[in-house]
A and B are shown apart, each in its own frame.
Chain A
Amino acid sequence: MMSSTPTRPTVFRLAALLIGAVLLAGSHAVAKEALADLFEARVRSVVAVEFFVETEIDRRPSVVVGVPIDREGTVVLLDSSVPGWLPPAQLKDFKIYLPRSVDGVPAEYLGQDQLTGWHFIRASAPFPGEVVPITEYETARPRIGDPVWGIAVMGKDFDFQPYLMEANVALLQKVPQEVGFCVREVASPGGPVFSADGAFLGWAGNPIWQERDIYLEGVRYNASIRNPNGSGSFLLAHEFLPWLKRIPESVTGQAVPWLGIIGMQPVEREAAKFLKIENVSAILVSDIIEGSPAAEAGMQKRDIILTIDGEPLPRFSPQRVVSSYFEREILRRKPGDRMRLGILRGTDERLEVEVTLGQQPTPLKEARRTWFERLGFTVREIVLYDKIQRQLLESGETGVIANFVKPNTPANTAGLMAGDLIREIDGVEITDYDQAVEILRGIEEDPTRNEFVLLISRGTETSVIRVRLQ
């Protein structure tokens, strides 16, 4: 995500650009004349997107880069462009800017696709004629060593000036989708990457953390660094284009397929050898959620999954990628679809279970929430995620979550903290969200009220908190 740009960082960014230019001057891989023309033509396939995240107390701007995918005005953004836990209602005022433009076009947030994680937005009017959707180029498959180039976009104060980045492909790897890794940064995260002759190669991903050792006054530190405005990897075109039709039909309430298992761990080679399942890929299931499709199908804690519909799980390096692969295999199906899973139970029992995928319970970002200004906090409905996180599934504790507590308010002064589980309000046990909101609204709207009492759980501790309203 690009930040809105105060002066100093932009100077640094310019400096970085110059260094990039020097590097470019030393490269003989791409014919310069052709590249300048190609760049001008391809700049028409990248946009900057501005939006605001609104919370109870502030509004923060964000600028990200995306690519147009049709002529109607639809743009795709990386999963990281918008934090996944943010309720869509808090995302405001999307605007799409063409490179080098001053005025943006208002746009609507269409939602996030669960399988790819990508966000989609659509402009209020079709794109002007000069915009070329990314889907309209010839594609090519890069090979190791190929020179590649991409487009990056500067901040709003630079009128979203596009600039060129160039690199070579260093590695092609399935993680589990096939990704090209470059010798250096090649585009803005979310920007397009092309071949020397202008074919579309892929979509630049999230910046990668790079490990560095740093010595400060003789002391060695391990540091992870990344450039938030430059991406050195791209999802290959054949892994990108087919999924662009997964534009969410609605921002919330999507039917997301769900199995109901927790804590998938790849079985590492040594353990696999011990279990005599070497040369295959396997996933160990840590727990099964009661009442979930997995539980209904008779799956058990500690089951080791070996096959899906008779097909062995593919092998990846690193091995842990198999967990993401399995997750995608569920997400690309639909609720109600059946799946046969081949399982190793214990050391020698082999069996196959047939699961009928269910529908994922309310995700965190869709949990209902209400802000109480006078009290100083927001309550949120408890969702499955909370219950897993807090180990509440077995204890059966209920309540609502204090989602946000504003500093220097009655709730904050009384000691309520964000994340607390509110179990009772004024001695009344809270069993559902609507009940909690009704009681709190009653307190908030009663000017004669000068205190109320909460029973909260924090970790394994509970305590009674008295909130004075003055």
Chain B
Amino acid sequence: MRCGAVALALGVGLLLAGCATLGAPPRRESASAVSRGFERLLDAVVRIDVRERVFNGGSTRFVSGVGSGVIISEDGLVLTNAHVATPKAVEISITLASLEEVRAELVGWDHWTDLALLRLDMEEVRRRGLSFAHAEFADSDAVRVGETVYAVGTPHGLTRTVTRGIISNTDRYFEASDGVRGYETGYFNTWLQTDAAINPGNSGGPLVLKDGRVVGINSRTYLGAENLGFAIPSNIARTVAAILAREGEVPRSYIGLTPGALRDLEGFFQLAINTGALINSVDPGSPAARAGLRPGDILLAIDGEPVDGRFPEQLPPIQNRIASVPIGSELTLTVKRGERTFDVVVVTEKLESRVGEEWAFEKWGMSVQEVSRAYARENRLPEEAGIIVIGTQPAFPAARAGLARGDIITRINGKPIESLEQLKAIYAAFEEKPDSLLVEALRNRSVTLFVLKP
């Protein structure tokens, strides 16, 4: 079991922890200082133990971690962080307020907002006659800076820990391209900031008001700093949870532009103040690029509705607006370039993560990840296809052939490799009848040949 913080992203650490269980008999007395709503909330907060399968290092391995969560419905839906329970989880066990453990399964996952939705095994709950409460949401847009809040969770494995603080900021901007276990996060939302003590293990636990209503899901903290914690606002968590319950993922639209804050460039671009957002980057080959948009253009309106991107805090809502339309929609963008203002129509694509599917080929001693569209663009890869080697085991065929982490497999026996499925098929054939394979891989952009021998 891992102890302490497990991830660092730009100095912001996720709050997943793994530590020994610290159990204590439940005390069920009602203290006068604590409202009934708060009592009820305490009965809705859970500890989450996750065992997951990871593919690094050339093999499949199992690791475990601990986080927090909050039950949000009668039928046993539990909201937590995407970095606590991932699709790689093979075993999720939830400790209720009564200290009883129940199995759960992953219902939906959204790394962009760092949220995951689990469901308690209700069959087991009924069979064992267990009970739990579920939390209620507050309106996160109505919270004020300075308002008292409480963080509830399992910091460092200390089950059902409550800490107190205030809302330090209601609109914190933070995004990271690898913030949730290597996945992107924070592009579509801002965060609540609090000084309530939040530690590794608090991840996925609720940030609540005095009356016990949830205003946020605690997610990250600055490691090494004190009392700088961040939570996903409840209004976003609620919406995302509803979609996850229905569809298992949040479908989002993508057009391939990255907005930038205009700050005080209005003068240069001859704009009225609080008008437009700067287009900072356009992904090559994306709908925006195909529509002829260029970095340095100003986005004035989306479907006729004005855009205001003067400050970084205003950018996630703009991104979210684009992401929220159904995939395949036509969006009319009003753009200013120099003196000229014009409209372009883009058709949105499905938003994809830069992290491709991972797998391990045990007999080769090699773990791999599919090259995603975003990864290929980011690395200006000549072809969009290929499989990245993310780990090898010493003395196994892949390592013996000379393959190493970071190589991108492009061909096998002269045939282009375009998907993980193809490689899996080759592996299956190899398992059945082991034979030497000529592997072509890109290493530092140079084509190199390797021979994978049984």
Interface residues, chain A, with chain B CB atoms under 8 Å away: 262-265, 267-268, 270-271, 273-275, 284-287, 301-302, 346-347, 390-391, 394-395, 423-424, 427, 451, 453, 455, 457, 459-464, 466
Contact = CB atoms under 8 A, between A and B. Distances in A.
Given A427-B338, A460-B378, A460-B380, A301 B284 contact: no
A284 B449 contact: yes
Contacts of A262: 445-446
B281 interface: yes
A280 to B, nearest CB: 14
Nearest to B380: A391
A466 B447 contact: no
Interface residues of B, number: 35
B360 interface: no
B445 A263 contact: yes
B296 A424 contact: yes
Given A347-B414, A395-B380, A462-B280, 14 more contacts: A267-B449, A268-B449, A285-B447, A286-B442, A286-B447, A287-B382, A391-B380, A453-B268, A455-B296, A460-B377, A462-B282, A464-B278, A464-B280, A464-B295
B414 A346 contact: yes
Given A268-B402, A462-B280, A464-B280, A286 B451 contact: no
Given A391-B380, A466-B265, A461 B281 contact: yes
Given A270-B401, A286-B446, A347-B414, A453 B295 contact: no
A273 B447 CA distance: 18
B449 A462 contact: no
Contact of A453 (B265, B338, B448, B453): B265
Contacts, number: 91
Contacts of B445: 262-263, 286-287, 391
B438 interface: yes
Interface of B: 258, 260, 263-265, 268, 278, 280-284, 295-296, 338, 377-380, 382, 401-402, 414, 436, 438, 440, 442, 445-451, 453
15 contacts: A270-B453, A271-B438, A274-B438, A284-B447, A284-B448, A284-B449, A285-B447, A427-B338, A461-B258, A462-B282, A462-B296, A463-B280, A463-B295, A464-B265, A464-B296
A451 B447 contact: no
Contacts of A390: 380
Given A346-B414, A460-B380, A265 B265 contact: no
Nearest to A466: B265
Closest 10 CB pairs of A and B: A263-B446, A462-B295, A271-B449, A391-B380, A270-B451, A286-B447, A455-B296, A286-B446, A274-B438, A265-B448
A453 to B, nearest CB: 5
A263 B295 contact: no
A302 B415 CA distance: 13
Nearest to B338: A427
Contacts of B450: 268, 270-271
Nearest to A451: B268
Contact of B451 (A274, A451, A455, A459): A274
A309 B326 CA distance: 62
A455 B382 CA distance: 25
B447 A464 contact: no
Contacts of A275: 438, 449
A423 B338 CA distance: 15
Contacts of B283: 460
A466 B296 CA distance: 12
A38 to B, nearest CB: 48
Contacts of A466: 263-265, 268
Of B263, B268, B283, B379, chain A has the most CB atoms within 10 Å of the CB of B268
Contact of A263 (B278, B447, B451): B447
A320 to B, nearest CB: 11
B281 A462 contact: yes
A425 to B, nearest CB: 11
A457 B295 CA distance: 9
Nearest to A454: B296
Given A462-B280, A462-B281, A464-B278, A302 B447 contact: yes
A460 B283 CA distance: 8
B280 A461 contact: yes
A76 B382 CA distance: 42
A461 B258 CA distance: 9
B132 to A, nearest CB: 46
A453 B338 CA distance: 13
B375 to A, nearest CB: 11
